[in-house]
């Protein structure tokens, strides 16, 4: 449906851009699935956006990193509340 987002363009994948290495590093950080890794991922996606603020992969990655950070903090708060109560 949307080749830019699904990687279905002529080359079979997203085009290589100057910020691609940071998007890849951000994706790898998200895969580590820990709070500190989410922070690392947000940093990497932000670096990618410095090259192209309209890079959809970096924008989506940054949104995912922030959402996962928020979720981790919510779970941590729930755990603390359960121990206190």
List pLDDT tens digits, range 42-81: 999 999 999 999 999 999 999 999 999 999 999 999 999 8
Question: pLDDT tens, 9-36?
Answer: 455 556 788 999 999 999 999 999 999 9
Please give the torsion angle defined by the CA atoms of residues 75, 40, 53 and 11, in that order, rounded to the nearest 10 degrees.
-100
**Category of 73 on φ-ψ map: left (φ > 0), alpha (ψ -120 to 50) or beta:** alpha
pTM of the shown model: 0.78
Mean pLDDT computed over every residue of the chain: 88
| Euclidean distance between CA atoms 56 and 78, whole angstroms | 33
Residue 57 CB: number of other CB atoms within 10 A? 22
């Amino acid at each position: 449906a949307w080749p830019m987002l699904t990687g279905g363009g002529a080359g079979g994948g997203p085009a290589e851009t100057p910020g691609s290495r940071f998007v890849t590093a951000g994706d790898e950080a998200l895969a580590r699935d820990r709070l500190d890794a989410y922070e690392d991922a947000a940093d990497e996606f932000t670096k990618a956006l410095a090259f192209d603020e309209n890079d959809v992969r970096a924008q989506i990655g940054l949104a995912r990193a922030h959402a996962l950070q928020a979720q981790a903090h919510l779970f941590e708060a729930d755990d603390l509340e359960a121990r206190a109560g």
